A and B are shown apart, each in its own frame.
Chain A
Amino acid sequence: MSISTNSNEKGLSIVLAERFDFGEVDRFRRCYESVKVPKGKSVKIDFKNTRYIDSSALGMLINAKDYLGGSEVKIKLVNANEQIKKIFSISRFDMKFDIE
């Protein structure tokens, strides 16, 4: 199951693939650069299918934030499993993103 996007009135929702690593750089970038997200809306990044991430995922998320942060868009990371939450905690992502 590959990466997919869903845009509605609430904002943009990106459901990630099973692995969120360097192989996804191009696809993930296109997901948030192809859609214009209006100010004040949120981008939800869904980890419900994701079982593995590496450090490039963290870089991708920061790049996405840098790209979207300019237009005052909130980024939410949802449905992450325990292991991924641990990675977020160790890399202090809980300070930079809303993790649910």
Chain B
Amino acid sequence: MNSFASKAALLCASAVFALGLILWFESLYLACGCLVILVAASLAVLKPDPELEERRVAEENRRLKGLLSELDDKLQDTSQPVIEELDTTNKNIQKLIEGSSINLHASFNMLSQSASAEMDLLLGIADQLSPAANHQDDGECISLARFANEVGQILDDYVKLFVDISDKSIKAVHNIQDMVAHLDGMFVLINDIRGIADQTNLLALNAAIEAARAGEAGRGFAVVADEVRKLSQDSNALNEQIRERAETAKSTVTNVERVVGEIASLDMNIAIDAKGHLDGMLNELEAVNVKIAESVNQGAQISDDIKREVGKAVEALQTADRVAQSAGQMRVHVKDLSKLCRALSTVKKSLKPDQALKEAIDTLVAIERSLEFKSFIDEDEAAGDVELF
């Protein structure tokens, strides 16, 4: 480049000098001759020195090599710690991900188990509460419905007893009334006996009068008449006693009738109220029962949901493995990078930097190819994994 510029400058100077000669000598031929001589002389002066040229190239080469080596050193110096740091960071990432993924797996498994246990428990409760549980009548499971049934049965029995007592009492009362009627019949008969005794007394009196009129002959007959009169009076006294007894019996029987009546007459409103209260309470309990069963079923459903979500989370955790894989791949890339750096360092050592550079470029291309291949696989995997979410 320099030589070219000096040659051009020389030519220009020659041209100017030729013009000057033309004007000085006022003869074109003389001037031309002088110019030819001048050009020849200058060409001889400017002829390149091959030795000098070679030295200059070598100098240039050395300088470039020095620069390259400096660049390489700098590259090595800066890249090596970065590569090492990257490698350690990668290792850490892999370790951390593996550790936390194991922990997450364990805790998700526990969560899933707990959810299952909770669901079983809730379903058990629901089963106990449901009316269907009554069918397995093994005496141990006491359900509300069964309890209600038992209480209702007891109340029914109680009312039945009520009605039965009343029925029997009324029958007794009817019998007592019949008995009173018979006693009243007896009083009529007692009155009849009294009439007969009175008539006998009257007859005995008449007989005594007739005996007194007969005088001495009727004395014995008067004794008999007196005895008959006494008998009729005794009979009357006895009759009176029977009557008194019968009256007592009648009043006693009437008392019995009253007592039996009290037994028979129970206020049914108590039973109605009891039954009403019981029905109300049972209805309320049944409603509560249904509500509890509903809630428990809902709880079981929620547990099921939790289990499903945990399953999804575990599936999602599989991406952690992919992250670890990516970290591994990153390490491979880092290794490639260090390989590249090494390839560059050989340039410095080689005597033929051109060839070494070419080799380095080839290595770079090879690494690039492998990188492209890996990233392609990565994309493929990623596309396949999308379905998981």
Contact = CB atoms under 8 A, between A and B. Distances in A.
| Co-assembled chains A and B | yes
Interface stretch (B133-141, B165-173, B322-330, B360-368): B165-173
Chain B interface residue number, banded: 20 to 34
Contacts of B170: 25, 56, 59-60, 62-63
B266 A59 contact: no
Given A55-B264, A55-B268, A56-B264, A63 B171 contact: yes
Nearest to B268: A87
Contacts of B167: 58-59, 62-63
B275 interface: yes
A58 B261 contact: no
B35 to A, nearest CB: 152
Interface of B is mostly: helix
B159 A56 contact: no
A90 B261 contact: no
A36 interface: no
A54 interface: yes
Interface of A is mostly: helix
B175 to A, nearest CB: 11
B324 to A, nearest CB: 77
Contacts of B349: none
Chain A interface residue number, banded: 20 to 34
Interface in B340-359: none
Contact of B159 (A22, A26, A29, A90): A90
A63 B168 CA distance: 9
Interface of A: 21-22, 25-26, 29, 53-56, 58-60, 62-63, 83, 86-87, 90-92
28 contacts: A22-B261, A22-B265, A25-B170, A25-B173, A25-B174, A29-B174, A54-B266, A54-B267, A55-B163, A55-B165, A55-B265, A56-B169, A56-B265, A58-B162, A58-B167, A59-B163, A59-B165, A59-B166, A59-B168, A59-B169, A62-B163, A62-B166, A62-B170, A87-B268, A90-B268, A91-B159, A91-B163, A92-B160
